[in-house]
Amino acid sequence: MDTIIQVKISLRGTKPLIWRRILVEKTSTFETLHEVIQIAMGWTNSHLHEFTAAGVRIGQPLEEFDMDYGEKLIDEATVTLESVLTHGTQTVDYTYDFGDSWEHTLIVEQWLPVDADLQYPICTGGKLNCPPEDCGGIPGFYEMLRIINDKGHPERQEMLEWLGGIYDAKAFDLQEVNQQLTAFFHSS
Find the mean pLDDT for residues 147-164: 95
CATH of 3-128+172-186, one of 3.30.465.10, 3.20.20.70, 3.10.290.30, 3.40.640.10: 3.10.290.30
Give Cα 30 distance to the centre of its chain.
12
Q: What is the pTM of this model?
A: 0.93
List, for residues 120-138, the tens digit of each pLDDT value.
Answer: 999 999 999 999 999 999 9
Amino acid residing at 146: R
Report helix, strand or coil for 78: helix
Tell me the C-alpha distance between 89 and 100, whole Å.
28
List, for residues 59-86, the tens digit of each pLDDT value.
Answer: 998 765 555 555 688 999 999 999 998 7
Structure confidence at residue 69 (pLDDT): 56
List, for residues 23-40, the tens digit of each pLDDT value.
Answer: 999 999 999 999 999 999
DSSP element (H, E) containing 56: strand 56-59
Strand order in the sheet with 122-127: 73-75, 56-59, 49-53, 90-96, 102-113, 3-11, 18-25, 122-127
Tell me the C-alpha distance between 126 and 10, whole Å.
9
